Structure 1
Amino acid sequence: MQGDEDQATADQGAVMESAEDTLRFSGPLGTAEAASLWPRAMEAARRGVRSIDARGVVSLSGTGAVLLAEVARHAGDAPIEPPGEHSAAETLKRMSDALAAAPAPPPPPRVGLVTRTGQLAIGTVKQCQTRVGFLGEVMLGWAGLLARPWRLRISELFRHLDEAGTRGFALCILLGTLIGVILAFQSAIPMRKFGAETFVPQLVGISLVRELGPLIAAIVLAGRTASAYAAELGTMKVNEEIDALSVMGIDPVAWLVLPRILAAGLVMPVLALVMDLTGLVGMGFVMQGLGIPPSMVMNSLQDWVSVGDLWGGLFKALIFGLTIGLIGCRSGLKTGGGPRAVGDAATSAVVGSLVAVVVLDGLFAIIFFRLGW
């Protein structure tokens, strides 16, 4: 220990003196004083202190007592001379006993790169197993429903059809019209350079029917319905209502999941069709403003947009809807405990649905390209 004195004074008057191998504290040692002295006290303790003298402390808070105890611990369990004032000495004793009874947990061991990679791989495999297991439960539920179709809750199915489909028509009409207008204007700008504005209806029509209609409808369904499924089922999970159904011998998958997945799958082609039609209407208004009559627009669409394009887009929408319903229900049933569980489940449902839709859309693009469709 250095022989010279090192003194640090807090704003409220607490004093810390370091002389030889003793660290002395004096004055009031409250929360503000302890915070001001903490860095210097820890540094002095690391340099080497054999004893701590707190006899000059006139008042002591819990934070100040923790400071004295931590300095002693960092100095190798150096002894502490308690304050002369009785209440301060009692505070120090109670805090020291509490810290000794509940010591701080040791720092976690350092994990190497190979170990972290292995843990990540094991966690990914477990997540995949959980998702495949849930998919298997849903498939078994569908098989049981085909054998006993009267188990399907028709009233619940119509409720979800209304919430996921009917109440989403207004949003789809608005988005579809705006998308058609935007695509028409943005396509007309480069086409005008080549005098090819007449090809805008073909471009917009194929883009909407094959790609943008199902994709934007899926985004709407993921934002509205997947989050609603996850929040509703997550609340039931937190309130132990799903466990109560299992205790009563009722399969939660058949009772709660299947109507929601079926409703999402049925409404998605309808929403995609609404997006397609309203987008074409919006594009028609723009073409009318550019001097292209509606009859010419209709003829172009009939020549270039086939029924196969429409069916392909609607089939994609059906798969998107089933996937969104499946992910939303799974996120709700896997909700944990705590106040943030339901919000985390809704967020997981939306993010997972969007990622799954984009991945499926890419797979469909590859398949359609290989099939020449």
Structure 2
Amino acid sequence: MGICVTCGANPRHEFIGGSLWVDHWNFKGLCSVFVTGSFALGQSEFIALTAAEQSNPRKAIPMACKLILWKVCIFFLVSLSMVGLLVPYTSDRLMGSAGGKNHASPFVLAAQLHGVKAVPSIINAVILLSVTSVASSALYSASRTLQSLAEQGSFPSYFNYIDKRGRPLRTLIFCSICGIFSFIAAYKKQETVFAYLLSISGLSQIFTWNIICLSHVRFRAALKYNNISTDSLGYVSGTGVWGSVYAIIWHWLIIIAQFWIALFPVGSSKPSVENFFQNYLAPIFFLICYIGHKIWTRNWRLFYRVDQIDVYTNRILFDEEVLNLERKEAKEQFSHKPWYKKIFHFLFQ
């Protein structure tokens, strides 16, 4: 639809093209979108939490990883490109703009600014459904994570309770109560509060994935130390260790860039304490949680050496010969498939 509106299929019959896509690039502006981008990509680590409840994780995880890739490429990059073509960056109805009061979603603005009726209501309904979906998955992941922490002794043992249906009921109730924070949307300074929450959640995604990648690097090092082949694993990362190293470098570059623009806001060369705490609260929150964890567990160890990492406890053993035979059979079956099935398999399976 965005392409049609851009090319002139709108009530005003005007060709928009790239007229609104003007050159207003600056390095600080680029750095300022990293946190928003990481916030939008939240819950992508959700596939790791659901792996334990999948009937066949070895097939489900690779498929989920590819679907996330295409979600980012199609639903994020394409839709944002359309918004960039249809909504001027100077619009006072965009969140964060000066002087505007009735802020709206840029997707809704893309339709309203060019006279497309009914579509804004449809987009609002889609956004509401999307938010509901994200809230459901967040409730699922948060409750399981807290229950796991309680089981490991890093959270009060009261929350290590699972009912007869296999649900962490107490953590579900606790996380549902935390959902009351959504009523902040009715607060008169909702944008200020939203900026704090966005900073915490967005940068938290960076720290989360940084730890995931670091854990992967250490895990592969422990496998190498114990002479365990990756052929015995049910799932192996396609980019290997170097993919995680590459991600770790980018994570720290983003954290450093966010520190810079938090201390020196976009459009200003003077430091701002208020802006710093508003946009860099996640590292402070992370340190509080980390120190609190150390005090709670009284475990002052900073890291484990490679020879101290336990890779055997609760490990699911796969027969290397059986796995290699399965991979060989899968390749043979793949080679006999029609070309369109090969493309589908390459893209989504």
TM-score (norm: length of structure 2): 0.24
Instruction: Report the structure, 1 or 2, having the larger helix content.
Output: 1
Compare relative contact order (CA 8 Å, sep 6+) and give the higher one, 1 or 2: 2
TM-score (norm: length of structure 1): 0.23
Structure showing greater Rg: 1
Instruction: Report the structure, 1 or 2, having the larger strand content.
Output: 1
